[in-house]
Amino acid sequence: MSIRNLTNKLPYPIVQGLKYIHGAIPLPIRYGKIFRNTYKFLQESQWWDRDKLEEHQFRQLEKLLHHAYANVPYYKRIFDERDLKPKDIKSIDDLRKLPYLTKDIIRENFSDLMTKNYPKSKLVYATTGGTTGIQLGFYLERGVTNSKEWAFICRLQNWAGLRFGDKKVILRGNVINRIKNGKRQLWEYKPNDNALILSSYDMTDENMIKYIEKINKFKPVAFLGYPSSLYTLATFMKDRSLRINNPKCIITSSEILYPHQREIIEKHLGVKIFDYYGNAERNVLVMQCEKGSYHIISEYGVMELIDEIQNSVQKDGEIGEIIVTGFNNFAMPFIRYKTGDLAIYSKDKCTCGRIYSRIRKIEGRLQELIVSKRGNYISMTAINMHSDIFDNVKQFQFYQDIPGKVTFNIVKKDTYTIKDTAKIYNELMRKLGDNMELEIAFINNIPKTPRGKHRFLIQKLEIKYGE
């Protein structure tokens, strides 16, 4: 029986007690050798010069390709079909000799994508959230992929000023396990992580008053959360002029952070946000540094940006789809995986001293684009509305099922008036352009996704990009 199975059967106070004991072990020791080695390595590699970092990245890629060719039938086949050997990939650019990996290909070749030289006990099954489309299942390397992932995340947390064991509030769609008097609780303290986990699913006005009281008692150093959940909390504080002790940092991820969200969260929680982009498949990581730049983390994998006509994006300000090759999962390697996410390239150097390539911003998923009458795409981030437009709006969501027409669904606050409708309509039409019809509708509630996220657009049209 595993420790997890065992603790599931014990009464809650005893489990908490065990977690306190577990929590007394210093984190770097608790997370094991792979974590420690990776973390230590990352402390140094972030300051390497370009040659050294590129050399390291290519060596990692070589290792992955050799492994894939020797042990993963799917890759053996695609190399052979192209009369290629791993040694023919002599640079990162040569990766383009290999085809993309899509979710459909993964589903159709599932067992052929698994490495043949690992026992079942070395594999761990995971899935994507599946918020846009069907869930994807895949395997990770037990004890390796997530340990390394955690080392990278800890380095990001260091960039943001968070240290091991610092107190944090987490608002990331976690399900609260604590049950008292037969009722599921709104929060739970995790002693082993020194974290107060708040439920993202219960953010009613009544509960949020309790959240603020709890936060003020807890005095966290950091907030880790989905942008939508932290935004809900921050607007609630704004509307009621509530305050908390300012934390030292805020770290967001797992959703696109929109400018109006950043503005409100930073203002009312009182510090700058560090945002990062990654995926459940564990093959890409883009993180903001102290200077606010989004850096592509090259020790983690290779990230390509490919435009609509299949060229690599090289120009500042150009958009492309994110194609990734991750180094931390040899159980089921993802090589040139199409993420379905878009980003804008940046050529600017960062003043933080790290030479990682940059992107200007993540544009979101392809399914988060609005389609105009002429078939042009409008990005949700380009709509970029100023926050005061939403002063009297509790939540909103776009809905589209006809090209050139979009519905803007609003959940009103009590203070909402007809003037708000005019303001929102005019502002949105200015951003969307003449090529769009806009309808404003009112609804009572916008449900969250199964992972507790908020979707800003329900897109029923199929978005094609580069096909």
Q: Which is nearer to Zn ion, 59 or 291 (CB)?
A: 291
Q: Which is nearer to Zn ion, 32 or 292 (CB)?
A: 292
The reply on whether position 293 binds Zn ion by CB under 5 A is yes
Among 350, 406, 410, 457, binds Zn ion (CB under 5 A): 350
Q: Which is nearer to Zn ion, 260 or 360 (CB)?
A: 360
**Residue 195, helix vs strand vs coil:** strand
Q: How far is the CB of 288 from Zn ion (least distance, A)?
A: 8
The reply on whether position 50 binds Zn ion by CB under 5 A is no
Among 50, 63, 291, 430, binds Zn ion (CB under 5 A): 291
Contact assessment for residue 77 and residue 115, using Cβ atoms and an 8 Å cutoff = no
Residue 212's Cβ-count burial label (10 Å; 0-12, 13-18, 19+) is: middle
Among 289, 332, 355, 457, binds Zn ion (CB under 5 A): 289
The reply on whether position 15 binds Zn ion by CB under 5 A is no
Q: Which is nearer to Zn ion, 72 or 297 (CB)?
A: 297
Contact assessment for residue 135 and residue 128, using Cβ atoms and an 8 Å cutoff = yes
Q: Which is nearer to Zn ion, 47 or 125 (CB)?
A: 47
Which of the ranges 27-35, 82-90, 254-262, 343-351 carries the binding residues for Zn ion, by CB under 5 A? 343-351
Which of the ranges 13-21, 107-115, 194-202, 289-297 carries the binding residues for Zn ion, by CB under 5 A? 289-297
The reply on whether position 287 binds Zn ion by CB under 5 A is no
The reply on whether position 46 binds Zn ion by CB under 5 A is no
Closest to 398 in 3D by CA, of 342, 462, 443, 449: 443
Among 84, 136, 352, 446, binds Zn ion (CB under 5 A): 352
Which residues pair with residue 140 across a beta bridge? 124
Which of the ranges 105-113, 301-309, 350-358, 431-439 carries the binding residues for Zn ion, by CB under 5 A? 350-358
The 8-class DSSP code of residue 199 comes to: P
Measured between alpha carbons, how far is 239 from 237 in angstroms, rounded to an integer? Answer: 6
The reply on whether position 346 binds Zn ion by CB under 5 A is no
Q: How far is CA 52 from CA 39, 44, 56, 57, 356, in A?
A: 18, 11, 6, 9, 11
Q: Where are the beta strands (DSSP E) in 315-429?
A: 319-326, 337-346, 358-365, 369-371, 377-379, 393-402, 405-412
Measured between alpha carbons, how far is 147 from 114 in angstroms, rounded to an integer? Answer: 20
Which of the ranges 276-284, 346-354, 360-368, 410-418 carries the binding residues for Zn ion, by CB under 5 A? 346-354
Q: Which is nearer to Zn ion, 352 or 385 (CB)?
A: 352
Q: Which is nearer to Zn ion, 151 or 287 (CB)?
A: 287
Contact assessment for residue 304 and residue 61, using Cβ atoms and an 8 Å cutoff = no
**Residue 160, helix vs strand vs coil:** coil
Q: Which residues bind Zn ion (CB under 5 A)?
A: 289, 291, 293, 350, 352
